[in-house]
């Protein structure tokens, strides 16, 4: 059973702080990794994808991947109240092709306080 | 670019009744996925289509769930007969754009079985 583990939270951070969200996965052969943001009552929205070890930055978001440790994280700088949501980590065994399939974690709920 | 469309957005049925959900993918996206998301959990893949062929339906409860994707575009997911435990959000996602393995979700259909 391939698993993706996340702390369910809630993770509470003050406005303007850095939020750090973590995810571990069991399938060592996993190739691509995704972070989705899901507001209450809404569908998941893709915010970051990463497939190479190291950091990938996009605006206030940075995804970090360490395949040796089977660990992927998402940093949100200058956290805003609008960042309050559940963040889902998803793992794909493939980079491309018809066999691509996402396994999701249960999500971490982030609360940004004023 | 228009996103993934789904209908209906909400549905309430009694157990043992049947229900159908519809999905229209992002134009040009060849791969279509149906996920089930139970409250407090991450999405779970039910079935994956590549064009109009099934790639993976290993987690689809085939005694009551069926899905089709005619002409490789729109897709329908049917449940017959519904059980109380089918109450969930049914999400359609598609991939096959500029970054082939990135999946984009529709707004989902919230099903309540009473």
pLDDT number for residue A95? 63
CA distance B54 to B33: 10
Assess whether pLDDT exceeds 90 at residue A100. Answer: no
Cβ atoms of residues B48 and B65 within 8 Å: no
Q: Tell me, yes or no, if B45 comes closer than 8 A to chain A by beta carbon.
A: yes
pLDDT number for residue B99? 82
CA distance A70 to B25: 32
**Residues from chain B contacting residue A101 (CB–CB below 8 Å):** 45, 48, 56
pLDDT number for residue B100? 81
Residue A96 binned pLDDT confidence (cut-offs 50, 70, 90): low
Mean pLDDT across chain A: 93
Query: What are the tokens at A6?
Result: 């996340």
Running DSSP on this structure, what letter comes out for residue B8? -
pLDDT number for residue B104? 95
Cβ atoms of residues B29 and B97 within 8 Å: yes
Q: Which residues pair with A87 in a beta bridge?
A: A37, A108
- Mean per-residue pLDDT, A1-30: 93
**CA-based nearest distance B57→chain A, Å:** 11
- Taking an 8 Å cut-off on Cβ atoms, the answer to whether B101 and A100 are in contact is yes
Cβ atoms of residues B98 and A49 within 8 Å: no
**Residues from chain B contacting residue A92 (CB–CB below 8 Å):** 101
pLDDT number for residue A99? 59
pLDDT number for residue A16? 97
**CA-based nearest distance B42→chain A, Å:** 4
Residue A83 binned pLDDT confidence (cut-offs 50, 70, 90): very high
Mutant choice from A88, A101, A107, A109 vs B, greatest count of B C-beta within 10 A: A101
Condensed to tens digits (0 to 9), the pLDDT of residues B32-87 reads: 999 999 999 999 999 999 988 999 999 999 999 999 998 889 999 999 999 999 99
């Amino acid at each position: 059973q391939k698993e993706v583990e996340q702390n369910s939270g809630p993770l509470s951070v003050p406005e303007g702080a850095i939020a750090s969200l973590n995810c571990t996965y069991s399938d060592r052969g996993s190739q691509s990794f995704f972070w989705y943001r899901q507001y209450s009552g809404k569908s998941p929205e893709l915010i970051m994808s990463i497939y190479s070890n190291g950091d990938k930055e996009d605006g206030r978001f940075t995804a970090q991947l360490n395949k040796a440790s089977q660990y992927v994280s998402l940093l949100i700088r200058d956290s805003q109240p609008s960042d309050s949501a559940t963040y889902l980590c998803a793992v794909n065994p493939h980079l491309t092709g018809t066999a691509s399939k996402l396994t999701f974690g249960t999500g971490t709920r982030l609360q940004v306080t004023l | 670019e228009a996103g993934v469309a789904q209908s209906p957005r909400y549905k309430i049925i009694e157990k043992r009744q049947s229900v159908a959900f519809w999905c229209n993918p992002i134009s040009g996206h060849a791969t279509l996925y149906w996920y089930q998301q139970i409250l407090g959990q991450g999405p779970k893949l039910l079935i994956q289509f590549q064009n109009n062929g099934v790639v993976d339906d290993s987690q689809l409860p085939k005694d009551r769930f069926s899905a089709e994707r005619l002409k490789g575009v729109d897709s329908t997911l049917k449940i017959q007969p519904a059980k109380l435990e089918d109450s969930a959000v049914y999400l359609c996602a598609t991939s096959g754009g500029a970054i082939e393995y990135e999946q984009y979700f529709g707004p989902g259909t919230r099903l309540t079985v009473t």
